[in-house]
Amino acid sequence: MYRFKILKKWLIYRFAKIAPTSRIRINLLRKLGARIGRNAEVYEDIVVVNYTDLKHLIIEDNATISPGCMLILSSYHDQSCITNYKKPFKEKIRIKKGAYVGANVTIFPGITIGENSIIGACSLVNKNIPDNSLAYGIPVRIKKLYFKKQVACP
Ligand SMILES: CC(C)(COP(=O)(O)OP(=O)(O)OC[C@H]1O[C@@H](n2cnc3c(N)ncnc32)[C@H](O)[C@@H]1OP(=O)(O)O)[C@@H](O)C(=O)NCCC(=O)NCCS
C-alpha cells in the first residue's frame, strides 16, 4: 500500500514536470502538497528534491518559476557516512508574492525569496533575498534594490 502511494506520487510528479501548461503543472504540484498562490506560473522541467516533501514548497501569488529550476527542500543521506556529522533534514523554500526566478536557478533549503525580487538565470541561491531586489550569480549576489515601494500586481 505504502509503495503504491509512493508510486502514485512519483507519477504525478513526473507528469507535473512535463505537463503542457502552467495551470496543469500547478494543480499537480498542489496535489502533492505544494502551496501555490493565485496567478503563479511554474514552467516545465523544474526539479524538486525531494518530491515527497512538496508541502515545504510555498510559491505565493503572481510568482514565476522559470524552466529548469532546481528546488532543494531536503537531504536524505541515511546510507552515507556523512550522517555521523550531518543529520538528514527538510526545510521550506518560500518564493514570495510577485517574485521572478529565472531559468535554471538552484535554490537551497530554507531560502526565502522576497516579494517582487528577480533572480537572474542560472543563479545559485544560498541565502535569503530581500524584497524588491535584483540578484544573480553563483553564489547569488544582490545587485540592486529594484523598487523603492511595493509594485501593484494585476
Ligand atoms: C538578471 C537579469 C534580469 C538582468 O538583466 P539586466 O539588469 O538587464 O542585466 P544586463 O543584461 O544589463 O547585464 C548586466 C551584467 O550582469 C551580467 N548578468 C546578467 N544576468 C546575469 C546572470 N543571470 N548571471 C550572471 N551574470 C549576469 C551581464 O552579463 C552583464 O555583465 P557585464 O556588465 O560584465 O557585461 C537577466 O540577465 C536574467 O537573467 N533574466 C532571466 C532570463 C530568464 O531566465 N528567462 C526565462 C524565461 S521564462
| Nearest Cα residue to atom 9 of ligand 1 | 120
- Tell me what the mean pLDDT of segment 96-115 comes to: 97
What is this structure's pTM?
0.91
Residue 131 sits in a domain whose CATH number is: 2.160.10.10
Rounded Cα–Cα distance for residues 40 and 143 (Å): 25
Note whether residue 47 is domain-resident: yes
Note whether residue 95 is domain-resident: yes
List all residues 6 or more positions away from 87 whose beta carbon is below 8 Å from its beta carbon.
none
Residues at CB less than 6 angstroms from ligand 1:
43, 66, 102-103, 118, 120-123, 136-137
List all residues 6 or more positions away from 62 whose beta carbon is below 8 Å from its beta carbon.
37, 38, 39, 40, 97, 98, 153
Atom from ligand 1 closest to the CA of residue 135: 1
| Nearest Cα residue to atom 36 of ligand 1 | 120
Give how many domains the chain has, as a whole number. 1
At 77, is the pLDDT very low, low, confident or very high (cuts 50, 70, 90)? confident
Quick one: cell of 68?
529548469
Note whether residue 151 is domain-resident: no
Rounded Cα–Cα distance for residues 131 and 98 (Å): 10
Rounded Cα–Cα distance for residues 5 and 154 (Å): 39
Q: What is the distance between the terminal CA atoms of the chain, rounded to a whole angstrom?
A: 45
Note whether residue 154 is domain-resident: no
Query: Which of 136, 141, 146 should be mutated for ligand 1, with most atoms under 8 A from CB?
Result: 136
pLDDT tens digits, one per residue of 14-72:
999 999 999 999 999 999 999 999 999 999 999 999 899 999 999 999 999 999 999 99
- For 80, the domain range is 2-145
Quick one: cell of 146?
529594484
On whether the CB atoms of residues 132 and 116 are closer than 8 A, the answer is yes
| Nearest Cα residue to atom 43 of ligand 1 | 102
